[in-house]
């Protein structure tokens, strides 16, 4: 049951927004069209049943956890795998954005004073979850299961009391009865499909259990399958119950209050002590949504680790030494998801259209992968298995098309552009890493260690402790060290040469500068020296100050900086900063 609680928070929490998304589309026609939410919810429940049956088979086939990336890559090949990966990465980001935004809306429905601060509250929530994951939350299942059970219990209570109250006492007049409206849209098949597509967000997150089979107690696969079934039953009941209540009580989507909040307020009333139950529902909703967001913070870094290990995204996500690699994933997720919250002003209704595309893409690829797998293996019972997964693949593909078409204009286009763009980027990165590997490869190398001689050049602009230290260093790496000085005016050059001879026997070359420029004559000299290097390598030693305070750096090192910047673009010369530390 703990595994149920932790792995199903993402799936169950969708109840907080799925019904509202259906109603939002319908009331554009008019409050009278609300009736359609009932058959639509029924269809979604049926879809849920199909998907759950399909995933029960994935659990059996992948007892070590079958994420869509692995299943698609294993059975369909590299490109479908990458499409699934791109879909999953966007899905994880959107899970955080949608869940946190919905959590904030659950709170601000109860406390309208928070309405003006939804965006900052959402960003702070993401920041806190990010921080907790960077620190490394010990996934204390027991603690994390409390919000889930609280949520299930309170929603069950809400649905039960709601229906009983409606039957016995009658329904207090809700928004739809007080202010019936007629919208500008007309009821069409397209609109009903759009409402259905919106409601399909109810299914987001159901894949979590099949991804996380190894966390179950043995026999893992069996326990996971039982849990998945239970989760499907609970999710379906809660979703149907909430949708029914919303219809009965006349809840209508409003900017300032969610439909769940409206229903809970009417069912539990506004008088203590029962109104406390209303606040409990809102709190539990916000809590489970935060928990749902939190699950993405382990999924995202894990997937990006696999992708980076395979060379499809930057190595930073899979560095040797896991800790830093996971931190990069966590930070990336936190940044993108809070950016979405800011861009969409924390409005769930505006982020949702982006959400379902990625989820159903991964569902479809994952189920199709399973079909191919059964076909290839032909293990006993493969016909039944193909039928089940085939039905799942077909249904989710159909929904994917419906979502893509009906939600295209309101945001789905962005994901339809993003996923191929990401796949292209993945392959470009992979190509680059392969290129590098072949350039670095020793496979056909004739390498024999070489005894190179050092030619050392030290540009100097004066003579002081810092310079002498650099000269000592130069002598330590080679006997062939030369200092070079740019002659800007004859008088100071003569004085300098004399002083030089007093302090050191490192040979000094003075180069003229007709244009009074420092840099050009130095670079010319470096190139001249380099052209004499056959069996030797040239090192330029740049004496550099390290100031005691950072701002003092603005007062020094300009010539050193210019020399180093210019040499950065030149091959073969090695540049060494010998640092002199200033104490004040």
HSE, side-chain direction, 13 A CA sphere, residue 356: 35
Task: Report the partner that residue 315 touches, choosing among its own copies, K ion, none (CB closer than 5 to 8 A by kind).
Answer: its own copies
**Distance linking the first and last C-alpha atoms of the chain:** 64
Select the span of 39-47, 57-65, 299-307, 428-436 touching its own copies (CB under 8 A): 428-436
**The pair of three-digit structure tokens given for residue 57, joined into one six-digit string:** 């088979």
| Span near its own copies by CB under 8 A; candidates 98-106, 118-126, 219-227, 451-459 | 451-459
Q: Which does residue 204 touch among its own copies, K ion, none (CB within 5 to 8 A, set by kind)?
A: K ion
d(CA 423, CA 73): 13
Least CB distance from residue 11 to its own copies, whole Å?
A: 33
Q: What is the torsional sign of CA 206, 208, 213, 219? A: negative
Sites for K ion among residues 82-101 (CB under 5 A): 95
Closest separation between CB of residue 76 and K ion, Å?
21
Q: Which of 128, 169, 126 is nearest to 269 (CA)?
A: 169
CB-based closest residue to K ion: 14
Cα–Cα distance, 411 to 352 (Å, whole number): 9
Contact (Cβ atoms closer than 8 angstroms) between residue 286 and residue 75 = no
Q: CA geometry: angle at 157 spanning 154 and 159, to 5°?
A: 110
Minimal distance in Å, beta carbon 477 to its own copies?
4
SS3 575: strand
Each residue 312-341 as x (binds its own copies by CB under 8 A) or -, in order, gives --xxx--xxxxxx-----------------
Identify residues 176-205 at the interface with K ion (CB under 5 A).
Answer: 204-205
Residues 256-315 that bind its own copies (CB under 8 A): 314-315
Angle at 351 between CA 346 and CA 356, to 5 degrees: 150
| Residue 10 contact partner, candidates K ion, its own copies, none, CB within 5 to 8 A by sort of partner | K ion
The one of K ion, its own copies, none whose footprint includes residue 14, by CB under 5 to 8 A per kind, is: K ion
Q: What residue 11 binds from its own copies, K ion, none (CB within 5 to 8 A, per partner kind)? A: K ion
Residues 200-259 that bind K ion (CB under 5 A): 204-205
Instruction: Find which of its own copies, K ion, none residue 95 binds, CB within 5 to 8 Å per kind.
Output: K ion
Please give the biggest Cα pair distance in the chain: 109
Residues 531-560 that bind its own copies (CB under 8 A): 536-537, 539, 545, 552, 554-556, 558-559
- Chosen residue from 140, 517, 527, 565 binding its own copies by CB under 8 A: 517
**Of 159 and 538, which has the nearer Cβ to its own copies?**
538
Smaller CB separation from its own copies, 298 or 559: 559
Cβ 528 to its own copies, closest distance in Å? 20
499 close to 475: Cβ distance less than 8 angstroms: no
| Closest alpha carbon to 12 in 150, 143, 128, 132 | 150
Cα separation, 369 vs 377, whole angstroms = 12
Quick check: bond before 339 cis, omega within 30?
no
Contact 158, 281 (CB under 8 A): yes
How far is 247 from 43, CA to CA, in rounded Å?
A: 16
Burial string for 496-507 (b: 16+ CB within 10 Å, else e) reads: beeebeeebebe
* Choice from 172, 454, 508, 525 touching its own copies (CB under 8 A): 454
Report how many residues bind its own copies under the rule CB under 8 A. Answer: 71
Could you say whether residue 80 binds K ion (CB under 5 A)? no
Beta carbon of residue 91, minimum distance to its own copies (angstroms, whole number):
24
2 to 41, contacts with K ion by CB under 5 A?
Answer: 10-11, 14
Contact residues for 345 (Cβ-Cβ < 8 A; gap 6+):
118, 119
As measured in angstroms, the least distance from the Cβ of 292 to K ion is: 6
Q: Which is nearer to its own copies, 445 or 490 (CB)?
A: 445
Q: Which CB atom, from 14 or from 361, has the smaller least distance to K ion?
A: 14
Evaluate whether 541 touches 474 at the Cβ level (below 8 Å).
yes
Return the one option of its own copies, K ion, none that residue 205 interacts with (CB less than 5 to 8 A, by type). K ion
Which one, of 540, 539, 574, 582, lies nearest residue 557 by Cα? 582
Peptide bond into 219 cis (omega under 30): yes
> 536-546 and 481-487: which strand pairing?
unpaired
Nearer to K ion, 351 or 538 (CB): 351
- For residues 431 to 450, the per-residue mask of contacts with its own copies, x marking binding by CB under 8 A and - elsewhere, is -xx-xx--xxxx--x-x-xx
Q: Which is closer to its own copies, CB of 275 or CB of 454? A: 454
- Structure tokens given for 241: 């119950």
Residues 469-508 interacting with its own copies (rule: CB under 8 A) = 471-473, 475-478, 486, 488, 503-505
Total binding residues toward K ion, as defined by CB under 5 A:
6
* Residues in touch with K ion (CB under 5 A): 10-11, 14, 95, 204-205
């Amino acid at each position: 049951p703990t595994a149920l609680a932790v792995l199903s928070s993402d799936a169950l929490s969708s109840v907080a927004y799925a019904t509202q998304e259906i109603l939002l589309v319908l009331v554009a026609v008019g409050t009278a069209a609300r009736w359609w939410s009932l058959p639509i919810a029924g269809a979604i429940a049926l879809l849920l049943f199909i998907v759950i049956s399909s995933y029960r088979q994935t659990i059996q086939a992948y007892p070590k956890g079958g994420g869509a990336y692995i299943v698609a890559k294993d059975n369909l090949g590299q490109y479908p795998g990458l499409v699934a990966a791109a879909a999953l990465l966007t899905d994880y980001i959107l899970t955080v954005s949608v869940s946190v935004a919905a959590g904030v809306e659950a709170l601000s429905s109860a406390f309208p004073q928070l309405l003006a601060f939804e965006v900052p509250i959402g960003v702070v929530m993401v920041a806190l979850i990010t921080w907790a994951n960077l620190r490394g939350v010990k996934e204390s299942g027991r603690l994390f299961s409390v919000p889930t059970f609280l949520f299930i219990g309170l929603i069950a209570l809400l649905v039960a009391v709601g229906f009983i109250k409606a039957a016995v006492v009658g329904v207090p007049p809700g928004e739809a009865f007080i202010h019936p409206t007629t919208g500008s849209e007309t009821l069409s098949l397209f609109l009903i499909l759009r409402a259905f597509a919106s409601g399909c967000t109810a299914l987001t997150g159901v894949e979590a259990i099949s991804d996380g089979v190894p966390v179950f107690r043995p026999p893992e696969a069996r326990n996971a399958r039982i849990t998945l079934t239970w989760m499907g039953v609970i999710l379906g009941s809660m979703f149907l119950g909430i949708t029914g209540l919303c219809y009965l009580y006349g809840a209508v989507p409003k900017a300032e209050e969610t439909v769940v909040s409206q229903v809970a307020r009417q069912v539990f009333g506004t008088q203590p002590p029962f109104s406390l139950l209303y606040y409990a529902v809102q709190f539990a909703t916000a809590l489970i949504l935060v928990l749902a967001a939190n699950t993405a913070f382990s999924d995202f870094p894990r997937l990006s680790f696999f992708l980076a290990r395979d060379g499809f995204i930057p190595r930073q996500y899979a560095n040797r030494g896991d800790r830093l690699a996971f931190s990069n994933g966590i930070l990336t997720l936190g940044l993108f998801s809070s950016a979405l919250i800011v861009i969409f002003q924390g409005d769930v209704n505006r982020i949702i259209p982006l959400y379902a595309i990625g989820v159903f893409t991964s569902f479809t690829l994952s189920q199709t992968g399973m079909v191919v797998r059964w076909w290839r293996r032909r293990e006993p019972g493969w016909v039944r298995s193909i039928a089940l997964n085939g039905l799942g693949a077909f249904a989710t593909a159909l929904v994917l098309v419906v979502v893509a078409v009906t939600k295209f204009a309101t945001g789905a286009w962005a994901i339809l552009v993003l996923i191929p763009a990401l796949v292209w980027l993945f392959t470009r990165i992979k190509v680059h890493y392969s290129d590098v590997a072949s350039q670095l490869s020793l496979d056909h190398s004739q390498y024999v260690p070489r005894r190179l001689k050092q030619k050392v050049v030290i540009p100097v602009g004066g003579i002081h402790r810092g310079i002498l230290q650099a000269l000592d260093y130069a002598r330590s790496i080679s006997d062939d060290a030369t200092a070079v000085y740019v002659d800007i005016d004859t008088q100071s050059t003569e004085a300098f040469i004399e002083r030089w001879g007093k302090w050191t026997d490192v040979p000094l070359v003075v180069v003229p500068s007709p244009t009074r420029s420092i840099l050009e004559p130095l670079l010319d000299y470096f190139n001249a020296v380099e052209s004499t290097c056959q069996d030797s390598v040239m090192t330029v030693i740049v004496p550099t100050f390290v100031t005691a305070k950072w701002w003092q750096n603005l007062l020094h090192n300009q010539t050193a900086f210019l020399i180093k910047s210019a040499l950065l673009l030149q091959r073969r010369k090695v540049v060494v900063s010998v640092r002199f530390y200033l104490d004040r």
